[in-house]
Structure 1
Amino acid sequence: MNITLHDKSLDVRLSAAAQKALARRDRPLVAEMELLFSCLLRKRVHFGDAMHESTPVNDRLSVRFRPIMTRRCSVAEGGATPPSEGFPLENPRPYVPNWLTIDFRRGEWVGEFGYAD
């Protein structure tokens, strides 16, 4: 499925397991693609129910893109969730990924996004 996110085409790919799990939900799922700017870049997909500022893919799924930045570059404090804050981009289009894949494995949502086709 292709949608437009920040004036850029995003190819959303759902596994068969993800399609079945979405069909069983009583409310839409939101997949948030997080791009962390720090010493290095990190990509992560978060899943939840909060619908604000998200773009619908269909009646069961919405997506959003969220760039964030660490407050300072320190490998020691990095860990899974380093202290960070929103990173407003004047033009997020160049940073929006080309594709997002979503799967449902062992009762958990799993996502990945990327820029090369």
Structure 2
Amino acid sequence: MLKQRRAIAENIADALFQAEAAIDAALSKTATLTGVMPSMRAQAGLSALIGQGAVERASQAIMALTEARRAIVETHKELSVAQSQIGLGAVALGDEGGDKPPVEGGIAARLRTVRAA
């Protein structure tokens, strides 16, 4: 039963990390787009009025992606709670490649990574 819970949790963790990475990549690329439009307009010697709507829409997209990032971070926190609820609180899941910030009660110090069997 524990092995099955670990496998399920690992699959969820992998999907979560992929979603986090996708949102971060979209945010980064949209920020690049938003930054390049005004500089290319200036380089072309065009009026600031040209492309203003596009800059505004790209800026709105950044805000939407920032909210999506906040939501996926909150999802991550909620899944950490669920992980403890199913008895896997002392197990680090996935291969995220980054350290988590300290968790309340010092749980993070006792975590270890579980690799796929």
Same fold (TM over 0.5): no
Q: TM-score band (shorter)?
A: under 0.3
Structure having the higher Rg: 2
TM-score (norm 1): 0.22
TM-score by length of 2: 0.22
Bigger proportion of residues as strand: 1
